[in-house]
Structure 1
């Protein structure tokens, strides 16, 4: 069922028509659009008793934005009301998950394979145990959701059409998952028709924030009511992320950003790596010159950069810790996929979301598949004390997402 909307056109003698459009989204947020001439606003006449009654019955569609927001807050305290006191009863009863099922959703009659259900239960239980274990500490573990800055919610993408929130992790099949989100949200329209083929969406468009609604955009869109809406959607929508072995992800990042000819990452980081750790006071001025001269950043230099406290700074999103991107101790996820079991997990998830008749996940290329030999091959020759420092940085990811400690390279 599409979100309801209504419009009224007021004809006032001596003035042009004044059109008010009120759009009501699936979780009770209103968007008001006013179309009016440049001439001064007319003074409103006192409405008739019949009109006053109609306005009272439509109190959830108030045109005054402050009045609209205040209905979600407790009097005097300004705290958010319980959602059951705000949302229409028929809406809450119509969908157990808090949103209206779409006609395109697929209904399955055969059960999901028990091993897939057990896999998810185990992964979610590991996260719960690590977050609840007071003996395990890492930065920002115990902060509340309200304490997370808005800019750190950029990776959480929202699909209001199907009640989905996806936290993307770079180098974990995120380009294809962003394609899926664009198809589901119908944010890319060509010739009046939403794009239905994920692989027809160019990679550059998947990185364009114009085609995604992230939680980071909520303050601009909903104002002071944004945090309450975030929490409502996080509670009612299906939330998922995909992760991979943290050390293998570091290798994948280096291969993609520094082995390949990447102008941005060479200028932003490559020259710094060569200068600080490669004995190059005047590194090549661009990536093409770097390749021509055979002077380019090494994997060891990249590791030195990551563990160097003198250059400590917010990590680039491509190698920032996965828990720092998706906040699993503050957000209760419903599904955790692993890149190592990508095919099975994507099929299971699309079925769980009931959209496997709408979209199919693109086949993964061999280049992005994790290889068990990568860690021993790439980390060979790097001093053990430096590898232990690297592990300490990424240990929360290992523990939260159930990846074993790489003893073979840390205990030599």
Structure 2
């Protein structure tokens, strides 16, 4: 009979088949462990060589300004500016190390209230979420399309919530997420400082395992009412530029980004041969303007779609440009200890870098980008003045009404004071004098904004240096 014959054959070959599968699984397991160890060791050595804090040989990325803390102290790190040229050949210089100022609580309070007022005013104008009033609104065609793409309910699944710590955060890609994720992991008490920088996955992936979803969606409004709820943000065009440089600019450093997006962009949008294998910034922008970012990389999507700030009662608005000050304030407001960070390493986009990239675009292209991310500009209160100043005139006709309505004169207090203090410190350093700053003072709420200054974004395998015992410094003469 046929069936018994087949069964005999299967019975005869089954042990060999099982042995083969077991051997393959064993080899795969061993090989995977070896590769992970080799990759971790290699990437750590490479990054440690390139970013060693305070080293005169530390190299920044192309056209990037890096601000690092030279052996930062536990109570307030020192500040050293490391800058590079905007050409392909990178050089680095280090300035005299001085203490960065810590801003008084009343300054943080005033700026946070301004940001919240800006957010609530934008939500009221958009007639959306908690500020919906049922009245008819006059929206332009672009605004109607953008508003229609925003979810009509709060996306609680985007939040990282800790009931025990009374803290909730909506992380935003390319806006300091990795650093904030490390601070959240640190709060769990399950990681040493060294372990935080030797994770086998990005911190933003690991943190979700330790900040799971609440038991039901109905529970979120109740818990959030007791929490310090943080909305993260960054200038929309700077965020796009940072993502382009990380994902697309250098195919050798990010092969996945090139294969997933870069090749398609070059094939579709390259008009003339260029020495660049990856897409240029102008080619990337043309691709972005012709596609709905909802189906693209998360860093290319408006924040308002992910964090739904008009539907969730955020009470702290964090800007990437003032990340450490804002997060320190949020920690204080939540009743937590001062941020315990010794990894002061801030990567910023300087005016020279913006000029290099945005000068590739026409005025019409930058205005089109603004329209695509207009709601983000509105909820965070960012301006467009600097970016359009670098644009090429182009052949496209620009509506004067649109030009007059572009956001200008960003009144962010912290950015203003940080810029002033940076200029003062640079002047002091150039003169060879030490910067003297007065001691701290408390605000009306009884908080004193002291502690360790942290980075905006750092690599996954950066190892922090040992603490010093320098006293904190606070700037208060505003």
Give me the TM-score of the superposition, normalised by structure 1. Answer: 0.58
Q: Aligned in 2, Cα 1:199/1:400: closer, same or farther, shift over 3 Å? A: same
Equivalent residue number for residue 229 of structure 1? 219
Equivalent residue number for residue 290 of structure 2? 308
Q: Aligned in 2, Cα 1:142/1:319: closer, same or farther, shift over 3 Å? A: closer
Greater shift, 320-329 or 132-141, is seen at 132-141
Equivalent residue number for residue 164 of structure 1? 167
Deviation at 1:197, TM superposition (A): 6.2
- The reply on whether 1:297 has 2:297 as its aligned counterpart is no
Mapped to 1, the partners of 2:106 and 2:381 lie a distance apart of: 20
Q: Could you tell me which runs of 5 or more consecutive residues in structure 2 were left unpaired when the two chains were aligned.
A: 1-102, 126-136, 394-478
- The reply on whether 1:349 has 2:330 as its aligned counterpart is yes
Deviation at 1:237, TM superposition (A): 1.5
Deviation at 1:339, TM superposition (A): 1.7
Q: What is the count of residue pairs matched by the alignment? A: 273
**1:135-190: per-residue Cα shift (whole Å, max 9, x none)?**
56455748998735xxx55431112220111111111111010011112234xx4x
Q: How does 1:21-170 map to 2 (within 5 A)?
A: 113-133=105-125, 134-135=137-138, 137=143, 139=145, 141=147, 147-148=153-154, 153-170=156-173
Q: Could you tell me which runs of 5 or more consecutive residues in structure 1 were left unpaired when the two chains were aligned.
A: 1-110, 284-289
Mapped to 1, the partners of 2:112 and 2:381 lie a distance apart of: 11
- The reply on whether 1:386 has 2:386 as its aligned counterpart is no
Mapped to 2, the partners of 1:144 and 1:325 lie a distance apart of: 8
- The reply on whether 1:202 has 2:194 as its aligned counterpart is no
Mapped to 1, the partners of 2:276 and 2:391 lie a distance apart of: 31
Q: Aligned in 2, Cα 1:112/1:197: closer, same or farther, shift over 3 Å? A: farther
**1:220-278: per-residue Cα shift (whole Å, max 9, x none)?**
xx3xxx22112222222111032221111111111111124112211111111111112
CA contact (8 A) 2:377 2:383 kept: yes
Mapped to 2, the partners of 1:350 and 1:198 lie a distance apart of: 22
Equivalent residue number for residue 340 of structure 2? 360
Deviation at 1:396, TM superposition (A): 1.2
Greater shift, 113-122 or 199-208, is seen at 199-208
Equivalent residue number for residue 14 of structure 1? none
Q: Aligned in 2, Cα 1:402/1:410: closer, same or farther, shift over 3 Å? A: farther
Question: RCO higher in 1 or 2 (8 Å CA, sep ≥ 6)?
Answer: 2
Equivalent residue number for residue 278 of structure 1? 270
Residue 356 of structure 1 aligns to a residue whose secondary structure is coil
